[in-house]
Structure 1
């Protein structure tokens, strides 16, 4: 019995994107339901490094002849010529979003595209220098654009375009009367007042004769003043915007910003932040990450005045201390917080800030590379029960078997977890098998009873690194015995497998993780992204179980997993039907059998990285793309003086090296 179309659409609303995409391949009725207008609003047709022409088999022609009308298109690193004009004639009026990223396209073709895409709501042109190089784009009546108007355009994004000028900016702004968001990140925006005096005489109307040589903040500011009532979000990341410029922007009459991004702006000072928080009190999103001159004073202003803030990023604002972090408790609506790489923040600041009371609002927290201990992580876990994303990577002393167990107990809603390079985490923590005590009903965190002070009191005559290898082997053996002996109902630990909603997991560099964890702790039906790079103890035995229990993986990172052999990759490509991105760099035991398995079983693979795989022949690597239609990128080692007869002369890493690197903190 076939379900009605409306019922299928209703059911598909409960499926994540990957599952819905897989369901659309079952039959035609499911395909149509999965591409209902409800879902198409967020779907993007992506053309990356593809050959676009008027051939009937061209990817673009397939979309042109499809019964499904897509509204959002992204072109990345492709050539767009006049041979595709028929596509814009047919599909242009239906386009709501268009992104051109690093594309090879001339002015004439670009103008033709715009003439047919008048219903755009979002237009992004990123690093397309050929379009702007002449400075004549959208200039005159000869192009038929003198009266062109994008009445529905809300978001104009022109990042990374070094040839953008005031004149070009003026033409784009004039064509978008209802513009609400403007992105000029990474552009050569000039702030020096001397340039303004050079190109514009005092008292002149800059809109009548805008400069065709430079892009000045003064001109952009005048454009914002003229559209102040409509502008909601601005993006000036990676520019030289300073405190004075931000102050003049903040004081624009009738401007009520909801979002501002000034990421990586080294010239930004507390003066600008003070003016911003004084005049733009409606801000909901603020990104001042990597602004090195931001201090506690700025954070005090932000927390006192921006009470509606929902997103805050102060990544690597190294002058921020506990004094500023304590003020975060005033932001009652904050949902996303990034305070990573702020070296002066300690547990006290977190305790008096976001953990002052139980916080049921915060959903995403990034604290990677903070100098905290495991009690801080435990405190965060107990006070932030609604977290959906948590990044505690590089918190070397904070992420242990004990603290990770508390996370598995409390953060059951997590969809993203990153604990990269936290080398104190072992199988005991991930499996929850740290202690065999079925009589104890204590629900507290469980720590492996195999401590650093080993129970074996024999004098070890080897090196310290070799002693650690022996200790890891004994710990692995103990945990394996526990896992085989006990079931879920007979131990008091908390396994990683409790996080049923996990979609992204990064445990790269956690070298104490072995096949035991992959076998007993990895059971995620919705896991899409998995990073196991530099987990050098895993083998094909653990990969076999992992693939069976995590069938939805699309991105798989196995860089520098030296112990993996061809059998592991065979299991991966056979079991992971949705695999799109596979990184095998540095897995130097792999041979041509790996590529043969990829060629035979991967139907959706887009990117594969086999750099440093010395036993894989370059000829086979170069030819594999012809057998996999979706594959557009194969990364392999370049020929060099160290290549002998097609084989890279690279010796396997010594067995003691990973442990030694952990000791010296050199990874």
Structure 2
């Protein structure tokens, strides 16, 4: 603000910067620090910011998804999308029925680089017509498309010269989970592609046994590929054709075994150098063949051998000695890996992502004296669910992995305590995702930094003992011990469950009183509040049944939080929800299943304040009535998934009520697993 003299009088002029007038380069630079959802929200602010979101750096990250609808040039959304001039590059068609789509596919084909067909109702001829419009794509995914491959004559009678223009530039090909894929179809697809960098055949029915292969190929010199079966012998031929360029191979969830791995090893002389290998759930693999194959794949950056039960410590020894560049390793479910084996992984200096979940042989010693024995500033993603580790192990990894972005401790009941969670909050300041599902030992003290056993009587002349409540007396633990000393013959008539309920109620009351009376500092408690993790985006506390409204009201406050799970937390109620929706405005997925204290008023606050909500799970919330459905229908403009199982007081026709919600795709309710809401909309349209 400045002061000047004009016409003999003083006047004040204020300077207010216009952020809309910033140079476009500055706006784009600032937007780089935002999450993709925030970039889209910022684009609705003004015309200039909207233009900034058109920058290629942002549009290449956006996935345009068409889900559960009939796509036709003559009806929305295709009719509306054709009018758009925004250059999107990634498209996902999920459970789509295609009508006449020549115009929209021509519009999409101008800029499309990645296209995914997932469980679509699509015929051979129509697929080829669509592909002729997509001449700029470099990534193609066709998954669960049984109808497309069922006849076996896919692409047999088509003009492959015209299709070759579209297929020639494809570098990443995924055909996962297609049970009717055959040698003939795979050859027709791959022979039109000049060079394949990624090939994903996970979940396909591949025949590995020599007897089966000899049945369909009795003469090894036979050239004509079979239209009835997909054989590994033929896959090796295709891999041989593209081995110079192939860098990513996924054969997860197939019956690949030792002979097949040995066959892949024959490609060593041809120059096969993989950067990513997926062999998850391939239970036929033994440790000898796996070690032999990994010894010469020294360029691997990603390796997934989860649920391969024969992986043991000797396999990890080979991995450590030969795969020094490894950045992502998944050995979850490898029950034969022990503390000694996991300790070897500490020598992998480039490892960023590690999954050791469900490895029964890994215990506390493998953490404290193994992978977390020294400080590691490289590891960013650690998954270690269902492990029998102690509190000290969790505290050690929190202290020695300061750069963690993702930490999953689901079902680590013994190790995840109030103290270990406090250590996580203290040390892992860059954490973005935290999962403590079913860690039932933690209380509000873990998330707020206050230990209930430290709350003692604080003199205050302005407050009566009644107003102080539990804070006017010794702590509950001290009070119980005092009563036991003075009344040795006192017998409680409560059951253990009733005693736990009373303790939870007293704990909640004391915590609320401490906050409301601003007695935290006077309680001499040196703890850390969850709010210290300022960039947290995913928080899963399902099954943490000692968590109460105190944590919601004072501990969960994140501007960037996208996913919050509080299912099976029965002490969550309106009091906590009221503050939570104000402090966490960016929530897109919210799970409150089996939170029995949630009522209609809480749902009204949630739907009104959480404007970005895309998925809401309220199954088992027995207090909810039809008023909650009204709030959801009126306020949720972007909701895609709704779960309302076991809501006993909701008697209305739920499908009919939500049939007009244009964004809703998945409606989960009693007696059905997933109601296709698009069918209901079509039914209503036909009635008119």
State the secondary structure of the residue aligned to 1:247: helix
**Residue 186 of structure 2: which of 169, 172, 177 is its match?**
169
**Residue 630 of structure 1: which of 631, 644, 663 is its match?**
663
Residues 1:212 and 2:227 aligned together: yes
Which residue does 2:205 correspond to in 1? 188
Which residue does 2:90 correspond to in 1? 72
Give, in angstroms, the shift of residue 185 of structure 1.
0.6
Distance 1:452 1:154, change over 3 A: farther
In 2, Cα distance between equivalents of 1:639 and 1:353: 47
Native 8 Å contact 1:434 1:449 kept in 2: no
Give, in angstroms, the shift of residue 201 of structure 1.
4.3
Which residue does 1:445 correspond to in 2? none
Distance 1:100 1:239, change over 3 A: same
Q: For 1:375-394, list aligned pairs within 5 A.
A: 375-394=392-411
Give, in angstroms, the shift of residue 37 of structure 1.
1.3
Which residue does 2:370 correspond to in 1? 353
Distance 1:147 1:432, change over 3 A: closer
**Residue 367 of structure 1: which of 359, 384, 388 is its match?**
384
State the secondary structure of the residue aligned to 1:328: helix
Native 8 Å contact 2:418 2:443 kept in 1: yes
**Residue 517 of structure 1: which of 535, 540, 551 is its match?**
551
1:542-595 C-alpha deviation (Å, 9 max, x unpaired): 000110100100000011111111011011001101001000011111000001
**Residue 302 of structure 1: which of 303, 308, 319 is its match?**
319
Give, in angstroms, the shift of residue 147 of structure 1.
4.9
State the secondary structure of the residue aligned to 2:527: coil
1:73-119 C-alpha deviation (Å, 9 max, x unpaired): 001111113x1122122322421100011111111110111111122
Give, in angstroms, the shift of residue 198 of structure 1.
2.3
Residues 1:225 and 2:268 aligned together: no
Which residue does 1:36 correspond to in 2? 55
Native 8 Å contact 1:251 1:275 kept in 2: no
Q: Which moved more, 1:448-457 or 1:626-635?
A: 448-457
In 1, Cα distance between equivalents of 2:450 and 2:393: 23
Gaps of 5+ in 2: 1-17, 457-473, 485-489, 674-688
1:165-190 C-alpha deviation (Å, 9 max, x unpaired): 00000011111111110000110011
Give, in angstroms, the shift of residue 262 of structure 1.
1.0
Give, in angstroms, the shift of residue 200 of structure 1.
2.5
In 1, Cα distance between equivalents of 2:86 and 2:519: 49
Residues 1:15 and 2:47 aligned together: no
Native 8 Å contact 2:91 2:112 kept in 1: yes
Native 8 Å contact 2:455 2:475 kept in 1: no
In 1, Cα distance between equivalents of 2:661 and 2:240: 52
Residues 1:587 and 2:621 aligned together: yes
Which residue does 2:463 correspond to in 1? none
Q: For 1:348-497, list aligned pairs within 5 A.
A: 348-434=365-451, 436=454, 454-455=480-481, 457=484, 459-486=491-518, 491-497=525-531
1:271-330 C-alpha deviation (Å, 9 max, x unpaired): 222122211011000001111221122111111211110000011111111121111112
Which residue does 1:653 correspond to in 2? none
Distance 1:591 1:23, change over 3 A: same
Native 8 Å contact 1:111 1:143 kept in 2: no
Query: How many residues are paired up?
Result: 626
In 2, Cα distance between equivalents of 1:401 and 1:419: 12
**Residue 597 of structure 2: which of 554, 563, 574 is its match?**
563
Native 8 Å contact 2:44 2:50 kept in 1: yes
State the secondary structure of the residue aligned to 2:117: strand
Distance 1:247 1:454, change over 3 A: farther
In 1, Cα distance between equivalents of 2:426 and 2:591: 27
In 2, Cα distance between equivalents of 1:568 and 1:265: 46
Residues 1:250 and 2:250 aligned together: no
Q: Which portions of structure 1, spanning 4 or more consecutive aligned residues, are displaced by more than 4 angstroms?
A: 141-149, 435-438, 448-454, 487-491
Residues 1:51 and 2:83 aligned together: no
Which residue does 1:598 correspond to in 2? 632
Give, in angstroms, the shift of residue 152 of structure 1.
2.0
State the secondary structure of the residue aligned to 2:141: strand
Which residue does 1:87 correspond to in 2? 104
In 2, Cα distance between equivalents of 1:535 and 1:296: 39
Native 8 Å contact 2:302 2:329 kept in 1: yes
Say what the alpha-carbon RMSD is for the aligned residues: 2.1
Which residue does 1:549 correspond to in 2? 583
In 1, Cα distance between equivalents of 2:197 and 2:120: 25
State the secondary structure of the residue aligned to 1:353: helix
Distance 1:218 1:113, change over 3 A: same
Q: For 1:114-133, list aligned pairs within 5 A.
A: 114-133=131-150
Structure number, greater radius of gyration? 2
Native 8 Å contact 1:506 1:531 kept in 2: yes
Q: Which moved more, 1:163-172 or 1:6-15?
A: 6-15
In 2, Cα distance between equivalents of 1:519 and 1:571: 14
After TM superposition, the score normalised by the length of structure 1 is 0.90
In 2, Cα distance between equivalents of 1:98 and 1:195: 34
In 2, Cα distance between equivalents of 1:451 and 1:610: 40
Q: Which moved more, 1:587-596 or 1:32-41?
A: 32-41
Distance 1:234 1:452, change over 3 A: farther
Which residue does 1:539 correspond to in 2? 573
In 2, Cα distance between equivalents of 1:522 and 1:278: 47
Q: Which moved more, 1:233-242 or 1:451-460?
A: 451-460
Native 8 Å contact 1:158 1:183 kept in 2: yes
1:31-80 C-alpha deviation (Å, 9 max, x unpaired): 22123211111111001112322235x12232221010211100111111
Which residue does 1:62 correspond to in 2? 80
Native 8 Å contact 1:101 1:127 kept in 2: yes
